[in-house]
Structure 1
Amino acid sequence: MTTTQQDQDVIDLLLTQHRQIRDLFAEVRNATGEPRQRAFHRLVRLLAVHESAEELVVHPASRHDATNTVVDACLREENDAKRELTNLYALGTDAPGFDERFARFERAVLAHAAHEEQQEFPMLRRRTDPAKLRRMAGAVRAAEAVSPTRPHAGVGESATTMMLAGPPMALFDRMRDAIRDWHRTDND
């Protein structure tokens, strides 16, 4: 039996994205040159929209249904990851030292995903109505559609800040992505 988007709850959606993130980490690790850079840009985009949506939708619900300690730890980890992802993006995939920093970043992100999967998600599933979890998946998809495609570490992690600053940053990021992609195809 296949799950449609309407049937999928927010936890299943996020677990699917966590698998995609793991796959992209492996792709970046195993590629070189332009394919590596493209995989890294896909990873940056997925992490940026994923974390923004969690900050807007999931963590506020978890704070209500879980505990502040769990949510605060997730937010700290995400803010640290945004800062390091910003640094890696500026460094570039071909720079000396990228591999070592990327490996540390990967370990931190995967530990964060495990923290969510083992602590936050089970509490959310136990304490939240299944219909609400399905609605939250739709809210996450909507948030991702208007979220920045790059990390903006200086913005902060509150849902209010993301609601105010996220859409203008997302528009700017998406314009930069379109121009970068146009240049890439125009120069091929």
Structure 2
Amino acid sequence: MGHGGNVIAELTTDHREVEELFDKVQALPPGDERRREIVDEFTIELVRHSVAEEEYLYPAVREHVPGGGPLADKEISDHATVERLLKELEGMEATDSRFDPLVDKVVSEVREHIADEEQNLFPALAKACSPEALDDLGDKIRAAKKLAPTRPHPSAPDTPPANKLLAPGAGLVDRARDFVTGRGRS
């Protein structure tokens, strides 16, 4: 991830990439070991994406969009639900009887969240912000994704300033663990 363009273009492209991974995992038969690798891939992408949104997108929604506070709160709540599901999936073998229902639940929750963001939040933000502000947010989102964690941390703070302080450190540890284990290199 890291495509260029304003925040809406950046995050929409992320959404399409995650949906492609969902299609790949759902095309494989239950119990197929390749499902585990794809789940690791979409977990990495979802966590990085969510952390960046929580650091920059949702504070901008609160600041610029009329009634943006409750809208941002709902999106952060959606993230927390998905992060708990991803944490449950972490380390679980594809042959575990709980694996496939959890994958289906993640896919369903994320698809609903994507639709909500693209139909409601993004248009409201585009209306409330200048093109320059949207471009600046896109740059901040890309920078945040580079340093973000790659594993779910459901107990970590999800609002500034604490999330901006802790996420880079957790990201460094996660990337070191990923390097050692080979996770995400498929």
Q: Does 1:39 align with 2:60?
A: no
Cα pair 1:40 1:93 within 8 Å, conserved: no
For residues 125-164 of structure 1, what are the structure 2 equivalents within 5 Å? 125-164=126-165
2:173 corresponds to which residue?
172
- Structure 2 CA distance, aligned partners of 1:56 and 1:48? 12
TM-score of the pair, normalised by structure 2: 0.90
8 Å CA contact 2:18–2:46 kept in 1: the answer is: yes
Tell me how far apart the structure 2 counterparts of residues 97 and 158 of structure 1 sit (CA, whole Å). 31
Q: Which residue of 2 aligns with 1:63?
A: 62
Kindly provide the amino acid, as one letter, of the partner of residue 175 in structure 1: A
What is the CA–CA distance in structure 1 between the aligned matches of 2:160 and 2:93, rounded to whole Å? Answer: 29
Cα distance in 1, alignment partners of residues 123 and 89 from structure 2: 32
Deviates more, 1:48-57 or 1:130-139: 130-139
1:61-108 C-alpha deviation (Å, 9 max, x unpaired): 011122211111001111111111111114333211211121122111
1:16 corresponds, among 10, 13, 16, to 13
Amino acid aligned to 2:79 = E
Distance 1:159 1:95 in 2: 37
2:95 and 2:144 map into 1 onto residues whose CA distance is 32
The equivalent position to 1:25 in structure 2, one of 5, 19, 22, is 22
Deviates more, 1:143-152 or 1:157-166: 157-166
In structure 1, stretches of 5+ residues that fail to align are: none
Shift of 1:150: 0.8
Corresponding residue for 1:97?
98
In structure 2, C-alpha distance between the alignment counterparts of 1:90 and 1:158, rounded to whole Å? 27
Q: Which residue of 1 aligns with 2:182?
A: 181
Q: Between the two proteins, what is the percent identity of the paired residues?
A: 29
**Take 2:111 and 2:19, find their aligned partners in 1: how far apart are those partners?**
8
Cα contact 1:21–1:47 (8 A) shared by 2: yes
| Consecutive unaligned residues in structure 2, runs of 5 or more | none
